[in-house]
Amino acid sequence: MDPIKVDFSGKGRPKEVVIPPDKKVLKIIISLIVTIIGGAIAYYMMLPALNFKSLDFYYFIAVVIAIYVGMIFLTSKAFIKPEYITYVKRQSIVPVAIGLVFALVLGVGYLTSAALFRARDYSEIIEVKTEDFGESEDSITTITSLKDFSSVPMIDKNVALNLANKKLGDLSEWVSQFVIDEAYSTQINYEGNPYRIFPLKYGDVFKWLKNTRDGIPAYLAVNMYTQEANAVVLKDMNLPNIKVSTSEYFNEKLSRVLRFAYPTYMFGTPSLEIDEEGHPWWVCERVDKTVGLIGGTDVVGVVLVDACDKNNIKYYDIEEVKTNEEIQWIDQIYSDDLLVQQYNYYGKYSGGFINGYIGQSGVVSTTTGSSYIASGDDVWLYTGVTSVTNDDSIVGFAIINQRTKEAVFQRISGTTEKGAQTSAEGIVSDKGWKATFPVLLNLDGEATYFMALKDNDVVKSYAMVSVERVQDAVRSEDDANPDLEACLKSYVAKVKSSTKKALEITYDAVLPDALTGNESTGDATENTESAKLESVTGVITDIRSAVVNGNSIYYIALDGNKTYYSISASDDDSVVILNTGDKVKISYKSADGNIITAKSVER
């Protein structure tokens, strides 16, 4: 019997017959037109940088190719006529080949950017100077007097947000239309004090429709030292309302303003800052990839967008930002996350890639969390640094200028920020108060963590903990008076008893009320003995309510009076049963304006 011969080469197979659909050319033209329109819509929504270093660019290309192939499939009706499948495959060869070329470029980019091959390049993105703690006073707040605390933030972002929400709640005409856009808030130095600037955004799409023509009328500024929150109304400064924001839906949306002005630029995290006149600007970091094709993100420039006028937009190279005197008011160019990432590259890869994972000699990492230090006109990011083999204590602090990226590692051994928070909270374990993320201070040479103790984001006390001796922890003892001076004096005495070192601190400063407990600021506990209240009696002609940050705020108007008195239901729950026509007595502090915060309401 002769052997059976089987041909596996496929040479004998019939070729696939390509059957084109009717009006093939017209359908290709329709597919191209739809692809162009769909690509334009995708570009408007995705806003990719037209840049080979941007991952969004590759996603955009994939979407455009998918639109074209999908249209060829639909116009040929291959989903109901299988004989056209071969035609669809043939028409897809070119766009799919283009997609594969882009995929190949991206794949090569990943390889050329891999830390395995470029560890040293990653470690050199940021230059770090090493010194002992306190050796240089340029990058850390040195306290030798009570008045030096004016540059120290007394509260954290959450407490500041709570104060800002309370302030917004006092503005009845706005609270129902706008909310705080906390994701884009920025801590800056302004007029010698640390401030946090909170932009507003439209409450929802319907409130956007109602208000977008006029724009956003104000921003909120919280003084992190005095703990005063202010609504800065733009018309009071003869400025137009904010038109460029993150909550717009069309061409005034910040991301679109940036993309249409600079199609090829890649942008990092924007933030809202104000110049010396209080004019709001969006500060937008232009980033680039410095290691291979897609690795080693760094800032190479800044785009300033006038929040009140989308046509007023300026670009500055990073070196010009550092030297141009006209824009020295900018405090944050490098975002927190980017600086921490770059420092961790430095700490991990300075000894090479293999050492970063095996052996780990000298490998360090930042602790969880970061805070801010004010020095001169700049804001410095600070975070603890630990050895990766022992993360229970620090080996020093990374302190990085957010405008110039000047970085200093200050050597000192001690407890982590989390350890300091735990120590401070232990003092008030019976109360359940929580500590804010600590601020690092140089107290006449003594490395010290300073923090506020809070209850539901209301400041109740201040605490200080030694970096080197976590057991040296004190707080201001009077629960009704979160007294900074009392806390400082207790800490100075504690350090002296532990180390025999007498810290040279002077106490001749006049502190704001929030730091002495003499008067309520925002949510601070009020010393009722010093509060002088006035009262007004009348019949309720109008009562309105709004929910602000989870609190029900009631606004009450009395007969013959255009003023509204605002009070939270959590401060006086009797307001929830009030009605128009009820006669009431309202107690309040002497104040001017159309809306006054009330202290109590009696029927």
More confidently predicted of 593 and 501: 501
- Within a domain: residue 190? no
Rounded Cα distance between 586 and 538, Å, is 9
- Within a domain: residue 359? yes
Mean pLDDT over all residues of the chain?
89
Q: Are residues 424 and 511 in the same domain?
A: yes
Residue 436 has pLDDT above 50, yes or no: yes
Residue 12 has pLDDT above 70, yes or no: no
Average pLDDT, integer, range 472-479: 87
- Within a domain: residue 499? yes
User: 117-141: per-residue pLDDT in tens?
Assistant: 999 999 999 999 999 998 876 667 8
Rounded Cα distance between 597 and 590, Å, is 10
Per-residue model confidence (pLDDT) at position 415: 95
Number of structural domains the chain divides into: 4
Least confident of 81-90, 249-258, 378-387: 81-90
CATH number of the domain at 561, please: 2.40.50.140
Name residue 467's amino acid: V
Q: Are residues 443 and 391 in the same domain?
A: no
Q: Are residues 399 and 425 in the same domain?
A: no
Q: Are residues 447 and 489 in the same domain?
A: yes
Q: Are residues 506 and 544 in the same domain?
A: no
Residue 482 has pLDDT above 80, yes or no: yes
Per-residue model confidence (pLDDT) at position 480: 66
Per-residue model confidence (pLDDT) at position 519: 47
Residue 592 has pLDDT above 70, yes or no: no
- Within a domain: residue 320? no
Last residue of a domain, one of 456, 486, 515: 515
Question: Nearest-CA neighbor of 415 among 441, 370, 447, 388?
Answer: 447
Average pLDDT, integer, range 390-400: 90
More confidently predicted of 13 and 379: 379
Write out the two tokens for 104: 């190949």
352: alpha, beta or left, given left = phi > 0 and alpha = psi -120 to 50? left
Q: Are residues 499 and 537 in the same domain?
A: no
Show the domain range for 61.
Answer: 24-113
Per-residue model confidence (pLDDT) at position 550: 60
Helix (H) or strand (E) holding 424: helix 417-427
- Identify whether the C-beta of residue 242 lies closer than 8 Å to the C-beta of residue 213: no
Q: Are residues 406 and 441 in the same domain?
A: no
Q: Are residues 429 and 506 in the same domain?
A: yes
The burial class, CB within 10 Å (0-12 / 13-18 / 19+), for 508 is exposed
Contacts of 322 (CB under 8 A, 6+ apart): 403, 404
pTM: 0.83
Task: Please state, for a pLDDT cut of 90, what percent of the chain lies above it.
Answer: 67
Rounded Cα distance between 128 and 339, Å, is 12
More confidently predicted of 479 and 437: 437
Q: Are residues 406 and 460 in the same domain?
A: no
Residue 518 has pLDDT above 90, yes or no: no
Q: Are residues 433 and 494 in the same domain?
A: yes
Average pLDDT, integer, range 246-252: 96
Least confident of 207-216, 378-387, 419-428, 565-574: 565-574
Average pLDDT, integer, range 191-220: 94
- Within a domain: residue 163? no
Q: Are residues 378 and 460 in the same domain?
A: no
User: 69-105: per-residue pLDDT in tens?
Assistant: 999 999 998 888 888 888 989 999 999 999 999 999 9
Contacts of 381 (CB under 8 A, 6+ apart): 334, 336, 339, 340, 370, 371, 372, 373, 399, 400, 401, 402
Average pLDDT, integer, range 8-29: 74
Rounded Cα distance between 393 and 415, Å, is 5
Per-residue model confidence (pLDDT) at position 117: 95
Per-residue model confidence (pLDDT) at position 525: 35
Q: What are phi and psi of 176, to 5 degrees?
A: -85, -10
Rounded Cα distance between 93 and 299, Å, is 39
Three-state DSSP class for residue 335: coil
More confidently predicted of 35 and 15: 35
Distance of CA 538 to the CA centre of its chain: 45
Q: Cα–Cα–Cα angle for 483, 486, 487, nearest 5°? A: 85
- Within a domain: residue 233? no
> In 124-227, which residue ranges form alpha helices assigned H by DSSP?
157-169, 172-175, 205-211
Per-residue model confidence (pLDDT) at position 570: 67
Per-residue model confidence (pLDDT) at position 53: 97
pLDDT band at 295 (very low <50, low <70, confident <90, very high): very high
Rounded Cα distance between 303 and 313, Å, is 7
pLDDT band at 590 (very low <50, low <70, confident <90, very high): low
Average pLDDT, integer, range 365-386: 90
Question: Nearest-CA neighbor of 431 among 568, 553, 525?
Answer: 525
Distances (CA, A) of 180 to 190, 457, 576, 602: 20, 16, 25, 32
Average pLDDT, integer, range 25-36: 95
Residue 457 has pLDDT above 90, yes or no: no
Task: Please state, for a pLDDT cut of 70, what percent of the chain lies above it.
Answer: 92
Per-residue model confidence (pLDDT) at position 191: 85
- Within a domain: residue 83? yes
Last residue of a domain, one of 486, 515, 544: 515
User: In this structure, how many other beta carbons lie within 10 angstroms of the beta carbon of residue 71?
Assistant: 20
- Within a domain: residue 289? no
Last residue of a domain, one of 82, 113, 144: 113
Q: Are residues 407 and 430 in the same domain?
A: no
- Identify whether the C-beta of residue 200 lies closer than 8 Å to the C-beta of residue 214: no
Average pLDDT, integer, range 171-187: 87
User: 519-577: per-residue pLDDT in tens?
Assistant: 444 443 333 333 357 888 888 888 888 776 566 788 888 987 778 888 877 677 788 88
Residue 37 has pLDDT above 90, yes or no: yes
Name residue 485's amino acid: E
